[in-house]
Amino acid sequence: LLLLLDFNPFDNLLCILLGISFTVWFTLLLVFIIVPAIFGVSFGIRRLYMKTLLKIFEWATHRIERGAKDNNHLLYKPYSNAIIAKEPTSLEEEINEIRRRGSNRDLDSASEFEMSDIFYFCRRGVESIMDDEVTKRFSAEELESWNLLTRSNYNFQHISLRLTVLWGLGVVIRYGFLLPLRVTLAFTGVGLLVVLTSIIGFLPNGRMKNFFSEQVHLMCYRICVRALTAIITYHDSENKPKNGGICVANHTSPIDVIILASDGCYAMVGQIHGGLMGVIQKSMVKACPHIWFERSEVKDRHLVAKRLSDHVEDTTKLPILIFPEGTCINNTSVMMFKKGSFEIGSTVYPVAIKYDPRFGDAFWNSSQFGMVNYLLRMMSSWAIVCSVWYLPPMTREVSEDAVQFASRVKAAIARQGGLVDLLWDGGLKRGKVKDTFKEEQQKLYSKMLVGTQEDRSRS
């Protein structure tokens, strides 16, 4: 009797509608996303989505340019290259040029030090302040066209009602439809990874366990790729890393791992974390021999090298995935590779990753955004579009040390990915320039003065 008295037809109808909506939602996810991800197939919907976005971006950019022209506004154009044009000349050549222009005396009779030399260092200092090639690698890459995201170029202002409505419609689509869909897929992929790898951990070591582990990892990572609406183009798959080797790649974002692991299985290397990340790490290591280090162990280079060396010597284990830069760079350059992973003596498989910033900025500025905030930005962007190149395997030559080998691999990755090859350490993202860099410039100047003095004594 109480149930009949409390019965409300509206509440009952609402529950039915919610149940139907959930059933339809989950069915669509299962049929069009999860099942294709399990079998590694695609219906081409994401490619069509990308082409449609490109046409919309082109129209929006054309509309901005036309509106600026009608209103006599100057368009801001980001500098794709350096602000200051610099000739690839040496310190000695530039100082000698300044001396020729600023001194009426013959250079052969000049003293070891010229007051005009000061202008060279002043000019280089001002150039470094105006056009710092290091610091700008740790901020978001600027776009020449507006991609209808909140983070846009400086040109956006109210130009037309249609453009404003289009931007508002994009916000509704990204946050009202894409974001809930992607969050659901992300929880599905991570949840399946934790549960299935924990179950596989109870199987005895052998081929069957390795087979199931690889299939589960591929399936879960492919679901996570769908959670980002990632559109990935893989090139030269015949050069994919093989067991017993080390895969090294440039580093733009934490999702680099998902991008690569959705096309092949790798043994991950990293520090042990707590919380949700710690749960994921513990479950993954039960099914696959990943290499996790305690916080105190990471500082022991010999221990790290020993564990990596033991892993690559076993050809039955998956290739190790390492990002030698040690930090995220903004998709425009490659910075110095740490030499540790190049001292092992194993075959190195270089991989170049290049993101298309028009659809979403994949760069993680860890000093500005936390992981949750960053993932929210990724999942609320239009898509993640990137290209991956598998380069031919490289081995260390007899005449090379670890530093030279690392530089050669880095140069090959930068050349293939169309990135700038920089000699600077990515640790400058949070630290100061080492004194050795300053001393190197001082030694070059001193060497020039000593060399000039010796030449005069001979003459």
Q: Name the residue ranges covered by the structural domains of the chain.
A: 161-429
**How many whole angstroms separate alpha carbon 163 and alpha carbon 173?**
15
What phi, psi does 327 have (nearest 5°)? -155, 165
Residue 248 CB contacts under 8 Å (≥ 6 apart), including other chains: 322, 323, 324, 337, 341, 348, 349, 350, 351, 409, 413
Beta strands in 147-240, from DSSP E residues, in sequence order: 230-235
- Name residue 291's beta-bridge partners: 269
Token pair of 145, please?
């066209």
**How many whole angstroms separate alpha carbon 136 and alpha carbon 330?**
8
Q: Which of 156, 163, 316 is nearest to 242 (CA)?
A: 316
- Name residue 356's beta-bridge partners: 385
Q: Note down pLDDT in tens along the chain; length 459 residues.
A: 344 445 455 556 667 777 776 677 667 666 667 777 777 677 777 788 888 888 888 887 777 777 666 666 555 555 444 544 555 566 666 777 667 766 545 444 444 666 667 777 777 777 666 666 677 777 777 666 667 775 444 444 556 777 778 888 888 888 888 888 888 888 888 888 888 888 888 888 888 888 888 888 888 898 888 888 888 999 998 999 988 889 999 998 888 999 999 888 898 887 777 777 778 888 888 888 888 877 666 666 777 778 888 888 888 888 989 998 888 888 888 888 888 888 887 889 999 999 988 888 888 887 777 778 888 888 888 888 999 999 999 998 888 888 889 999 999 999 998 888 888 777 666 667 667 767 777 777 777 777 655 555 555
Q: How far apart are the first and last CA of the chain?
A: 118
Q: Which of 89, 90, 120 is nearest to 102 (CA)?
A: 120
Q: Are 342 and 410 in contact (CB under 8 A)?
A: no
Cα angle value 196/202/207 (rounded, 5°): 85
DSSP 394: B
Residue 52 CB contacts under 8 Å (≥ 6 apart), including other chains: none
Q: Are 226 and 37 in contact (CB under 8 A)?
A: yes
Token pair of 33, please?
């996303």
Pairing of the two strands 384-390 and 348-356: antiparallel
Pairing of the two strands 333-334 and 348-356: unpaired
**How many whole angstroms separate alpha carbon 61 and alpha carbon 333?**
26
**How many whole angstroms separate alpha carbon 272 and alpha carbon 278?**
7
Token pair of 407, please?
């530089």
Token pair of 362, please?
């994949």
Token pair of 389, please?
């190149």
| Coil, helix or strand at residue 387 | strand
Q: Are 410 and 341 in contact (CB under 8 A)?
A: no
